[in-house]
Amino acid sequence: MFNYILKRFKKIVIRILSLMFFLMFLLVMFLYLNYRLNNKYPRPNDIFSYVEDNKSKIYLNEKNKEFLKEKDIWAIRLDKNGRVIESFNKPKNLKDKFELIDVARFTRFYLADYPVFTYIVGDGLILFAYPKNSLDKFPFNYYNYKNLIFNFKLFIIFALLFFLLVYIFYRIDIKNILKNTLPFQKAIDRIYEDDYESLDENGELKDLAISINKANEKYHNLKKSQNKWIRGLSHDVRTPLAKISWELSKENKENFDIENMKDQVLKISNILEGLNLTLSLSNINKENFKEENPIKIIRKLIVDKLNENPNREIIFENKVENKDIKLKMDENLFIRMLENILKNSLIYTHGKIKLTISDSNDKLEIKIIDQGRGVSEKIIEKINKEDLTDVTRHGLGLLISKQIAELHDGKFFIKNKNKGLEVSFIFNYTNLILSLY
């Protein structure tokens, strides 16, 4: 469990760092694409190079004017005294002679809100002016090398601090996780030990603590139940074995009561068969169940029991309105579920046995009632709780029937009546499939 938590936490940290680098990559790409895509206006140096290469006796000849017009740029050339000696599309509000202070101003900033770029040509200047609000001019064209190095070092320090904080938080969280989960690890390791110590059912992991404590409690209850069950089983098996041993101890083999010995062997066989079936029911694959008509199966079962017991009276009442009802089942188990009840009634009672099947309120109900003395309320309670203690002798068949009913998504009810025992099986219509074909 700890390794799993550790791995999951590492994955979270790696994802956070990956996301951070991904965001940084997106930022760099954003800046780069903006830089690359910002080509609506040509670079000033390219403009000057073109004009310089294509000048004649004058700089602003027809070819250069056509080029500047295409680029939406106006230009003027000044002599050494600041007078305009050449121009192209010069705004009318600009003067024809500039003072030294004007030159200093537009060289660093703007000229009449036009971003201008100045180049030296001979003993004068040439200016290229871009449209207003097209380009921004920075008031500086230098950088402090020491300041650049300082900022780079500062960035490295901040990055190292960031990774250090991530590592510190990682260690703190791991420590807290281990501190909070270590008791659970110890509890899980000792959940089947007799000296298990119950976990404190408070805090953030309260639900987990409750689940582990309940698992330990169920295990110890099961262990106690199994001990009692084994003792009961040994008693049930020991009695017929003792009778068989007593018969075999007779010196005269002609005095062997073979029928009695067969009965004792049959008892042992039935006990072991019932126990094996009880233990195997949880491993049955319900996907192999098939749709069968329960009425047809019940009729066949009653006929078989009447043939085996011709002196007994078994009354069958079919109150089902929909005769085509089918239940997804394992036919052999379904027969065993009902047969266990009928067999108990045939063995332990002498009166009538009544089996009724009906459907109402979206439910299919199968009810078996006999006229015997019923069973102990203590045994009924153990069967309802699926407590195996002592049910090997009293009610193992009832317990198996209950488990089979639940395997078929049904419900099992048992109760004593004034005269006899009533056992009911109820299946919801949601578990039933109507035959439409």
Those residues with Cβ within 8 angstroms of residue 118's Cβ, 6 or more apart along the chain or in another chain: 103, 106, 107, 125, 126, 127
Predicted local confidence at residue 435, as pLDDT: 36
Contact 198, 186 (CB under 8 A): no
Alpha helices (H) in 281-324, listed in sequence order: 294-308
**Strands annotated E in 80-232:** 84-88, 110-111, 114-121, 124-129
178: number of Cβ within 10 Å: 13
Residue with tokens 């027969």: 335
Predicted local confidence at residue 257, as pLDDT: 67
Give the Cα separation of 336 and 436 in Å (integer).
28
Query: How many residues are there in the chain?
Result: 437
Predicted local confidence at residue 236, as pLDDT: 60
Q: How far is CA 406 from the centre of its chain?
A: 27
Predicted local confidence at residue 78, as pLDDT: 94
Low-confidence ranges of the chain (pLDDT < 50): 430-437
For residue 131, the SS3 value is coil
Fold classification of 206-280 (topology level): Helix Hairpins (1.10.287)
Burial 76-107 (b: 16+ CB within 10 A, else e): bbbeeebebebbbebeeeeeeebeeeebeebe
Predicted local confidence at residue 169, as pLDDT: 79
The full set of domain ranges for the chain reads: 2-38+142-177, 44-129, 206-280, 288-434
Alpha helices (H) in 309-388, listed in sequence order: 331-348, 377-384
Fold classification of 288-434 (topology level): Heat Shock Protein 90 (3.30.565)
Predicted local confidence at residue 37, as pLDDT: 59
Predicted local confidence at residue 74, as pLDDT: 94
Starting at the edge strand found earlier in the chain, the sheet holding 114-121 runs 84-88, 74-78, 124-129, 114-121, 110-111
Predicted local confidence at residue 52, as pLDDT: 92
Whole-angstrom CA distances from 87 to 67, 102, 133, 135, 365 are 14, 17, 22, 21, 108
Contact 346, 309 (CB under 8 A): yes
For 313, the token pair is 């009276």
Cα–Cα nearest to 225, from 387, 426, 341: 387
Q: How far is CA 192 from the centre of its chain?
A: 28
pLDDT digits (tens, 9 = 90+) for 39-77: 678 889 999 999 999 999 899 999 999 999 999 999 999
